[in-house]
Amino acid sequence: MIGLEMGRSTDARRAPHLAAVLLGTTILAGAPGIALAQDAATAPAPVAAPPVAAPAVEAGETIQTIQVTGAERLEPQTVLSYIQLRVGQPYTKASGDAALKDLYATELFSDVQVSNDKGVVTIQVKENPVVNRIILEGNKRIKDDKILPEIKVSPRQIFTRSKIRADVARIIELYKRQGRYAATVEPKMVMLDQNRVDIVFEITEGDKSKVRQINIIGNEHFSDGDLRSQMVTKQARFTRLFSSGTSYDPDRMAFDQQKLRQFYLTQGYADFRVVSAVAELTPDKKDFIITYVVEEGKRYKFGEVKVESQLRDFDGEKLAKNLTIHQGDWYDAKKVEDTIEGLNDTAGAFGYAFADVRPQYDRDKENLTMGLTFVIQEAPRVYVEKIDINGNTLTQDKVVRREFRLAEGDAFNSLQVKRSTNRIKSLGYFQEKFEVEQKPGTAEDRIALEANVEEKPTGELQLSAGFSSLERFIFQASIRQRNFRGRGQTVGLSGSYSSYSKSIEASFVEPYLFDKNVSLGVDIYRRDYNSFQYLNSNDRNTTYEQSTTGFQVRAGVPLTEYLTAIARYTLNYDDVTLDKNTYYSIDSNGDYTCDPLRGSRYLCDAIGKRLSSILGGSLIYDNLDNRMRPTRGETISLNADLAGLGGDVNYYRLRANAAKYWPLGKGFIFSLQGEGGLIKGWAGDDIRLTDRFYLGEPQMRGFGIRGVGPRVVRQYYTADSDGNYTVEAQDYDDAVGGRYYYMSRAELEIPLGSGAREMGLRPSIFVDAGAVWSVKAPALNDCKAGCFIGSRDSNGNQLYTETAADGTQSTTTSPTNSATGAANVAIGSTNYFTETFLGNTWKPRVAIGFGVNWNSPFGPFRIDISKALLKYDGDNTKTFTFNVGTQF
C-alpha cells in the first residue's frame, strides 16, 4: 500500500499553484471549532504597490496541430472537448495554463502536461485509476454495513482525491455521532494492474469521548449537584458505566440549557438565562469539559391572577377561583402551562375547538411579583364536519370508526377526542404514537377529524420453551389473530406442557356482535393439573390429579363509557383421581377404597367425577390509559358466580379486584392493588378441596407455591430396637386452601436511563400482604380397625400409624388429637408420625422486596428477590423467584 499522492507536472510552464499541492492524508475528529473570518474593519490595509506599466500582449506561435498522448480509456477527441485550444489559434502561456486547469477540473486525470514545439501542441495525460474495491480496516464499533452506504466512492468509479477527502469526513462524522471525537481515518490506495486501485480506509476508533466535568458558574441559590441532576448529560463516573448520558452530544448540550431554564422558571426565577455554554475537548481528545455560565436573576411570586373570557359560556371570575395557581405562590412557569392547557380543554369540552388562551404578564420588578391574566379569545362553537380514516389496508373502517366517541354532526368535545385516541390505541392494531388530528373544516364553525393510522402485524405465532420456579420446564405453543379478517375479531389456539400441568384451549371473541355494542366470547378447553406437596420445602411429589374439560360463553354490554357488565356461563367436567398404590386399601370384599389412614382425609373427599354448572356475572370499571402497561387511572371489578343450576356442585363465590396507578413524574409510577373473595356451599354442600382459594407464588411474592394459609404438616418417625422414636429428615406439607382470602400490593416502578429503557428493563420495589383462611380442621372419621399404637416421642407427641393395605393392622384407640384438632396419618405401615393443622388465620402475611421485568431478546424475564416480614407457623417462604422463556 502506498499513500495517496497527487502526480506532479514536470513542465515548467505548468500553473504554479497546481505544481505540488498535497493535502494531509490524515484527518482528525477534533472538537467542533468556529473559524472566524477577519472583519474588514479590523483587517490591516493592503500596502499600495507602485504603479507599473501595463504588460505587452504576448505574441504566440500559431497552433498547427494538437496531439493527445497517454489516454487509455478516453478518446483523444473527448480530451480535446474539455479545453479551449484549437488549431489556427495563437498558443500563449496563458492559454496553455487555461487548458491545464480545465483538464484538472474534470477530475479524470492524475497528471497533465501541456507543451508547444513550433506550433505542435502536445497534451500528455495520465488518467486517474478506476476504483476496484473499498476496504475498511480497524472499525469494530461501527460495522461495514453502516459505513459503506455513507461512502460516495464505489467500485468501478473513477478515483478522485476530492471524493476520498469527502468520504473521510463522512466516516469521521459517523464516529462523532457516537461520541468518538478522537477517531482518525487514514486513506490509502493499493495500485493494481490495468490502472486500477484498491482504496483502504485505515480507521483508528479511539475511546469514546466522555464528559469529564460539568462546571456551572453564577449559580447562588442552587448547588452544582442540584443543577446537574436536571441535565440529561451526566459526568462520567464509575457508577455510570452503562449510562449513555456520559458521552458528549451537542444536541443534548443544547437540550440541557433548556432543562436548566425550565428548572429555574419553575422555582420562580423568571429572569434566568444561560449566558454561555462551552464544551472543551481535552488535549488527549478523550474527554470534554463543559462549562455553563448562568445568571439567576431575582425570584418572583405570583401577583394577581385573573381570567378574562370573551366566550359567552364562561365566567372569568368563577374560572379564576378554580385555578391551581394563587396570588402569593412562588412563580412557576409549569403551572402557567398547565393552566393554559386546562382552560383549553375546558373550552374544548364545550365545543370551542379553536379557543385561544393567551397569558398576559404584569412583571413588577420592585415588588418582585408576576401578575397574570389569562385571556380566552373569542371563538365560534365548532361541530364535527367529517371523520376520515386513512392508512388502514386490512382493518375495516368500521373497526376504527366505532371507537370514536364523536359522530359527524356532533358538537366538538376535546375530552371525547382524547378518549377516542386512547380507545383506538387500546385496540393494539396500529402504531403506538397515534393521535386523532384536528383540521379546519369547510367553514369557520366546522372541524374535520382524521385518524391517520399505520397498521402493524396482529397475527401471532409463538413457540416458547422456558424454565419457571413454579412449574420447572415449560413448553408452550400458540397461534392468535387479534384482527381476524380486519373485523376486530380475535381467534386463538394455544397449548402448554410442563411437569405439573397440560392444557389446550381454543377461543373466539367478537367485540361488536352484529355491529351492536355487545361483545361475545367463547372458550373451549381441556386442562390437566397435577397437585403436589413439598418435601423439605424443596422437593415435591404429586398428591392428586385433576382433569377439567369444559367451555365458557360470555357476553358484555357497556353501561357507560368506563363501566361494563359481563354475563357468563361455564360448564366444567372434573375428574379428580389418586394413586391407588399410595392412597387406597383393600376392604373385606377385596375392593380398593380410598383409605384416609394411608393418605390425607381431605383427599378422599376430593376424588371423583363431577359436573359444575356455573352462572356468573361481572361489573367492571376501567379508565386506565393503557391496559398493557398502565401509568394512570384505575380499574375495579366485582365478580359473582353461582354453581348449582344443574350439575353436582353447589356454591356461590364472590370476588373483588381493584388497582390504581399514579404517575409521579420523571418516569416513576406508583400503584396500589387489592383483591379478595369468599366461597360458600349451599343446599348442604361443602366446599371441596379443588374449589377453595389458595395463595402464594406467583400471586404473592416472598412465599412459596400455595405457601400461605391452612395446611397439614406431617412429621415421620422411626423406632429403634429399644423403642426410641427418631424424627426422619422428610416431612409432608399439604396446603388445604380456604374459603376466604385477601391480597394487596403496593409497588413503585423505578425509571432507568434511556439505554436501559431501550433494553426493556423495568425495576420496581414492592410490598405484598395477604391471607387465606376459614376451613375445617381435617378429622379422622374412619379408622377402621383403629390406628393408635399407644406410643409417644421424646416430646410427648402422640404417634400414629396407618392400617396396612391388606387390613391386618389392628389397634384399639381412636387417634384424634384434641390439642390440634387434627388426626395423624402415615404413609408406610412401618413408619409412625405426628400431624399438625396450621395456618388457619386471617392475620396478614407481609413480604417486601424488589424485582425486575426485562423484555429480553429471548423472551420475557421476571426476577424477584423478597423477604417475608410477617409469617405464621406452617407458611412456606421463598426469597428468590424467577420466570424466563425463549421465543423462536
Residues contacting residue 261 through CB under 8 Å, at least 6 positions apart: 272, 273, 274
| Residue 22 burial (10 A CB sphere; 0-12, 13-18, 19+) | exposed
Question: Please, which residues have CB within 8 angstroms of residue 295's CB and are 6 or more apart in sequence?
Answer: 218, 271, 272, 273, 275
Q: For residue 19, count other CB atoms closer than 10 A to its CB.
A: 12
DSSP state of 442: S
Per-residue model confidence (pLDDT) at position 621: 95
Pick the closest to residue 552 from 598, 515, 505, 513 (CA basis). 505
Question: What pLDDT is attached to residue 203?
Answer: 92
Angle between helices 333-349 and 414-427 (to 10 degrees): 90
For the chain, the C-alpha Rg in angstroms (whole number) is: 42
- Classify the C-alpha dihedral 781-786-790-791 as positive or negative: negative
Please give the pLDDT value at position 70.
84
Q: Which residues have C-beta within 8 Å of that of residue 493, sequence separation ≥ 6?
A: 478, 479, 480, 505, 506, 507
Judge whether 21 and 162 are in contact, CB under 8 Å: no
Please name which of 71, 72, 63 lies closest in space to residue 96, comparing C-alpha atoms. 63
Handedness of CA 530, 533, 538, 539 (dihedral sign): negative
pLDDT for 60: 66
pLDDT score for 747: 95
On the CB side of 350, CA atoms within 13 Å amount to 12
- What residues contact 4, with CB distance under 8 A and at least 6 apart? 25, 161, 164, 187, 188, 189
Q: What are the mean pLDDT values of the chain's consecutive 10-residue runs (888 residues total)?
A: 38 34 37 35 42 49 87 86 88 88 86 88 88 90 88 86 90 85 88 89 86 91 90 79 72 90 93 92 84 93 90 82 88 91 85 85 92 88 88 86 87 86 82 81 87 82 61 76 88 85 92 90 91 52 80 94 93 87 74 70 78 95 82 94 91 96 88 96 83 88 88 72 63 82 95 66 92 78 37 49 38 33 39 74 94 68 88 88 54
Per the document, the length of the chain is 888
pLDDT of residue 416: 86
CB atoms within 10 A of CB 771: 25
Pairing of strands 383-390, 446-452: parallel
Tell me the one-letter amino acid at 798: Q
Residues 6+ apart with CB under 8 A from 657: 635, 636, 637, 639, 673, 674, 675
Query: What does the pLDDT read at residue 278?
Result: 92
Grid cell 476496504 in the structure block, residue: 135
pLDDT value at position 175? 87
For the chain, counts of helices (H) and of strands (E) = 13, 42
- DSSP annotation of 158 reads B
